[in-house]
Structure 1
C-alpha cells in the first residue's frame, strides 16, 4: 500500500476535506459518496461521517493508498 504523510496546518481536517486535499476525490460530491459507501477507513475502521475530524496520529486508507496525519511542520 502506498503510504505518505499529510501535515496538518490547523488542529484538524475533516475526512471529506482530506480526500479532496489529497487529490483522492475530485469534488465534494465524490468525497461524500465514497465516505457514505464506507470506502474510506480511519484507523483501520470504515468511516461514514464526512465531517469526522482527523488529527495528528490518525491514518486514513482509501483505494489502496494511505495517509498518516502528522502535526503542523515547525
Structure 2
C-alpha cells in the first residue's frame, strides 16, 4: 500500500468491507490513520514485520478467516 497516488484512492473507494493486514513492526505506517478513518479494518499481526505471512502465518490466516466470517454476505 502506498500513502499517495491512485492506489490509496482506489482501495478506499472499494464498495465492500476491507481489511489491511500489517506486521506489528510496521505499526507506525503513515497511512494507518487514514485507512481507519475511511472504514478500513486494521489488523496488526504480532511478532512480524513487512511479511507477516512468513513471520507469523498462523496469526495472519486467523485474522483473514475472522474477517471473512464476519463480513461475508
Between 1 and 2, higher relative CO (CA 8 Å, sep ≥ 6) is seen in 1
- With normalisation by structure 2, the TM-score equals 0.28
> Which structure features the higher share of helix residues?
2
- With normalisation by structure 1, the TM-score equals 0.28
- Rg bigger for which structure? 2
